[in-house]
Amino acid sequence: MAIKLYQFCISHYCEKVRWALDYKGIKYETVNLLPGQHVKAIKKMTGAESSVPVLDHDGQIIQGSAQIIDYLEQAFPEPTLTPDDPALRQQALDWEKKLDELAGPAIRTWVYHYFLQRPKVVIPLLAAGTPFYNRIALSLAFSRVDEIMRNWMKINQKTADAAQQTLEDLVTELAEIYGQRPYLAGEQFSRADLAAAGLLAPLFQPSQYPVPWPKPAKIPKPVQAWLNDWQPKLESIARIYQKHR
């Protein structure tokens, strides 16, 4: 049995899958790709979109973090990440969908808007887990990388401001819930909590996440100021990560 995860180390959707695989105690190999160079390899495998994560389980190809978790729940049911009770199951799936659709893109737009202004900080994150010469290649082509990433994810000051608002709404909602009960769906840790803490992990930068997080002094000032202000609310989400990751 061979399981390969095609990923970007920095990708928070890939972190969802790494976490689910680790949680279930599944052995797997990662194939770390460089953003940009991944397109051909991923499209060839999926015959469709170029996004990661993609899981290859003995030749069976699954793309998308939620789809991969669905697959893992079938193939490796224990320990489960989806509640048995139908209402709680739906609640967990709804939360995951909402987080995938809102938190994932918002954090990416907001963080990259500021980090792309700091090539020396963002390049090691983008190239994490890949050969060292990729950092040189990205440095040499950085203005093009910046342009492509901004066009592709529609990143500009306006979208970054809207993304920041989305994050503030979500973090507020999550902190309120975690202040009242331990988990998002019922009494057990589920894929809903995994999605929340996995997708928002770049905001609290856990050491288990396989990238060289920059020191606070290197983080762009507007981001660091926001992180300082929102730290108390982020702590309840970080606790889920530290407890279950």
Using CB under 6 A as the binding rule, the residues of this chain from 29 to 48 that contact ligand GSH are 39
Buried b (16+ CB within 10 A) or exposed e, 126-165: bbbbbeeebbebbeeeeeebbeebbeebebeeebbeebbe
11 binds ligand GSH (CB under 6 A): yes
198 binds ligand GSH (CB under 6 A): no
In the complex, what is the shortest distance from the CB of residue 82 to ligand GSH, in angstroms, rounded to a whole number?
16
Q: Which DSSP letter does residue 214 get?
A: P
DSSP 204: T
**Given 64, 83, 186, 202, the residue binding ligand GSH (CB under 6 A):** 64
Residue type, 145: V
Binding-site member from 5, 6, 9, 13 for ligand GSH (CB under 6 A): 13
Size of the site for ligand GSH (CB under 6 A): 12
CB closer to ligand GSH, 13 vs 110:
13
Return the residue of 52, 145, 160, 171 that touches ligand GSH, per CB under 6 A. Answer: 52
As measured in angstroms, the least distance from the Cβ of 101 to ligand GSH is: 8
Cα–Cα distance for residue pair 124/233, rounded to 1 Å: 28
Question: Reduced to 3 states, what is the DSSP secondary structure of residue 245?
Answer: coil
d(CA 224, CA 65): 28
Among 3, 20, 53, 240, binds ligand GSH (CB under 6 A): 53
Tokens for 110, please give them.
């907001």
What residue ranges bind ligand GSH (CB under 6 A)?
8, 11, 13, 39, 50-53, 64-66, 100
